[in-house]
Structure 1
Amino acid sequence: MIIDLPNTRTREIAHKIEQLHEERGESATGRVLTLLIATDDNELEHALEVANAASREHPCRVIAIVPDTEHSDNAEAGANTADGAADGTANGTSADAGAKPMEKTDNPAVDLTDGPAGSNLNAQVRFGADAGAGEIIILRPRNGLINHPDTMVIPLLVPDVPVVAWWPTNPPSNPSKDLMGAMARSRLTDAMRSNNPEATIERLRRNWTPEDVDLSWTRLTVWRGLLASMLDQPPHLPITAVKVSGPKEFLPMDLLCAWLRLKLGVNVDVEYVDGAEAVTGVYLTRADGVVSLERPHEDQALISMPGQAPQAISVPVRTIEDCLTEELRRIDPDEVYAEVINEGWDLIRH
């Protein structure tokens, strides 16, 4: 079920959702979290598809914010005019790179979806088969309302459940200072899918907080688990050399190298593989030989231990759905990621 709400207001959206719940004989109390998604039209449907898949395990309310810059009236001047008309106390700029977060309105009861010429908000509500295990709310603000995502979102949050913010592609430079990110208990970014992964991860590192994690790191969960399990088997000999193979300019591989360098205390050599789409191998040298984990194919890996026959196991390339589902399962700060991003990264860069 898809319901369009043109020129609407947040209170009307909330009322419509309550009405739909009553008609279907259900409530929002079964939702375990609210997932906020900041994206654009090009990425919207893919992000919702991923969120739907993740909601099968984590029933949630999904709120996607898609600024309608195409129909905004003179984006710069119009935004300032609409801000002043809708809220006489809220001034400031968006929380993008280098910008300070906007001040909150002194009167939280003010509905910023009321503009000087009516609503600055179009919305869509999806229920049932179109919304996974929850409901989806798509908000398309215009003019000055684009700069107030928190004001739009707060009336629509599910009470007493955690809020998770997710930027599927290009995140703000400082997610914790972003108006949407500031209300979240967990902030998920995906620097690998941004326009410039290396520059993005550097900005995220500089502004990192314990609630932040990047899905480039989550893509490595299976590899890290297997490698740790392999090294946990006797004999427990020190590692003297490490080599990692995979595609060039692949952020998850850089993070894997940083983790290995930090935990094993030895330099990590890198071998680039043309045509590879993910990490293809990790080779750990010790006194009795080489311990290796190789993935010559997309869905099968080979574990090799000195003195043992190679063992084939299934290790498919992780999808975005896998990564998002894992992070929604945890929510709590990732201490290992904190060490890697703050300490290990500098070790491989220097």
Structure 2
Amino acid sequence: MKIDLTETTSSKINQALVSARRAIGTPAIGMVLTLVIVTDEENAYDALKSAGDASREHPSRIIAVIKRVSRSPRSRRDARLDAEVRVGSDAGTGETVVLRLHGELVNHAQSVVLPLLLPDAPVVVWWPEDAPADPAKDPLGALAQRRITDAYSAEHPGEELAVRADSYTPGDTDLAWTRITPWRSMLAASLDQQSAQVVSATVEGESENPSCELLAMWLADRLKVPVERTVSAGPGLTAVRMETKNGVIVLDRPDGSLATLSMQGQPDRAVALKRRDTAELLAEELRRLDPDNTYAATVKFGVAKLAGQARPKPAEPAADAAPAAAKKTAAKKAASK
């Protein structure tokens, strides 16, 4: 069931939610949290679809905040709120409210969202792209117990990780970190089978992939060994090699789906390590609402501490340097004659 509301208020939206639930015969609220999505029109469909799929595991009230930037000065002064209420099969297992904020209201999104939060339930805010530099200090982020960003959507993911480290507040997390959960689990399990100490490691993956950096930083932080970050054609994270005193442990995934685990003295094993979609990543993050101390320690380790990082190229000589040198040599020859 869908209800469109134009030039509305938070109070009318709440009334529409109650009326819609009664109309479909489900007046009771069985949702466990409120998920606030801060996005734009371009990415709203994909974000809402992922959130709807994740709500099958975590029934929730999904509030999508879409800020419509006005072009003319007059439009920017006029504050208007349009909304779309979805309940029943149109909203997964919970209910969805799509808010479109116009004019001055864009700068006061928290005042619109606050009355729509479920009472006595956790709040999670997710920025699929264009996350603020400090999510905890953002007006919407301040309402939440958990704040989810995605460094992969940034123009410079490596620099984005540094921003996340500088502004980290307990409750922050990033989907680039969530993507490597199966890798971390598999590598930890392989080390449980090896009593030998790890002396070094190498993480191989695409160039602008923050998950590769996070995995390398996690290994360096936990194992206290040098970790080299190398670049491959992908897709995504392709291989991890850990040198131990008993031989090398290799987890290789060249196709983005099936990996091979190789260990000294054991036959190679096939491991399912497919690249997961956003709905699966979001569902995993919604399973825990407490601070992730391991993520905090990893992101604060710093990309610059990894070996094999790109170094700035030396400055090239100026275009007129060679002619100037030739003129200087010619002048010396003329003076000696």
Alignment of 1:15-164 (within 5 A): 15-27=15-27, 29-70=29-70, 73-74=73-74, 78-79=76-77, 120-164=80-124
The one-letter code matched in structure 2 to 1:26 is: T
Please report the TM-score for the alignment, with normalisation by the length of structure 2: 0.87
Q: Taking structure 1 as reference, are residues 27 and 201 closer, same or farther at Cα in structure 2, changes over 3 Å only?
A: farther
Could you give the per-residue CA deviations for residues 126-167 of structure 1, whole angstroms, max 9, x where no partner exists? 122221111110111111111111110111111111000000
Letter in 1 for 2:212: M
Scaled by the length of structure 1, what TM-score is found? 0.84
1:176 counterpart = 2:142? no
The superposition leaves residues 91-147 of structure 1 with CA deviations (integer Å, 9 ceiling, x where unpaired) of xxxxxxxxxxxxxxxxxxxxxxxx5xxxx1111111222211111101111111111
Q: Is the 8 A contact 2:17 2:87 kept in 1?
A: no
Per-residue deviation, 1:29: 2.6
The letter for the 2-side match of 1:273 is S
Q: How many angstroms apart in 2 are the aligned matches of 1:310 and 1:48?
A: 41
In the TM superposition, residue 199 of structure 1 has moved relative to its aligned partner by 2.8
The residue that corresponds to 1:289 in the other structure is: 247
In the alignment, the residues of structure 2 paired with residue 16 and residue 224 of structure 1 have an alpha-carbon distance, to the nearest angstrom, of: 45
Question: CA offsets, 1:44-79, max 9 Å, x none?
Answer: 00000000110000000000010121467446xx44
**1:242 aligned residue (191, 195, 201):** 201
Name the amino acid aligned to 1:68.
Answer: R
Opposite residue 341 of structure 1, the aligned amino acid is V
Alignment of 1:177-256 (within 5 A): 177-234=137-194, 236-256=195-215
Please tell me whether the aligned partners of residues 259 and 344 of structure 1 are also in contact (alpha carbons under 8 angstroms): no
Higher relative contact order (CA 8 A, sep 6+): 1
How many Å apart are 1:296 and its aligned residue? 2.1
**CA drift at 1:270:** 2.5
Deviates more, 1:148-157 or 1:22-31: 22-31
1:265 match: 224
CA distance in 2, matches of 1:70, 1:132: 31
**Overall identity of the aligned pairs, in %:** 39
Q: What secondary structure sits across from 1:195 in the alignment?
A: coil
What SS does the corresponding residue of 2:155 show, helix, strand or coil? coil
Q: CA deviation at 1:28?
A: 5.3
Distance 1:323 1:237, change over 3 A: same
**Any unmatched runs of 5+ in structure 1?**
83-114
2:64, 2:160 → 1: CA distance? 22
Deviates more, 1:66-75 or 1:313-322: 66-75
Structure of greater Rg:
2
SS class of match (1:258):
helix
Distance 1:333 1:132 in 2: 27
Tell me, in whole angstroms, the C-alpha distance in 2 between the residues paired with 1:252 and 1:72.
40
- Count of residue pairs the alignment pairs up: 308
Contact kept in structure 2, 1:30 and 1:59, CA below 8 Å: yes
What is the rounded CA distance, in whole Å, between the counterparts of 2:74 and 2:235 in structure 1?
42
Match of 2:331 in 1: none
Q: Which amino acid aligns with 1:295?
A: R
Native 8 Å contact 1:72 1:143 kept in 2: no
Tell me whether 338-347 or 216-225 shows the greater mean CA deviation: 338-347
Show the counterpart of 2:324: none
Alpha-carbon shift at residue 320 of structure 1 (Å):
1.2
Q: Deviations along 1:249-300, whole A, 9 cap, x unmatched?
A: 21100011101111111111233112x1211111111122111111122221
The superposition leaves residues 202-234 of structure 1 with CA deviations (integer Å, 9 ceiling, x where unpaired) of 222211101100110010000000000000114
**Residue identity matched to 2:278:** I
**Residues in 1 aligned to 2:302 and 2:250: alpha-carbon distance in whole angstroms:** 21
Q: Matched residues in 2 for 1:194 and 1:4: separation?
A: 33
What residue identity is the alignment partner of 1:338? Answer: A
Q: Is the 8 A contact 2:162 2:302 kept in 1?
A: no
Task: Quickly say closer, same or farther: Cα 1:178–1:292, change in 2 above 3 A.
Answer: same
Computed over aligned residues only, the root mean square deviation of the Cα atoms, in angstroms, reads 1.7
Query: Shift of residue 343 of structure 1?
Result: 2.7
Q: Cα distance, 1:196 vs. partner? A: 2.9
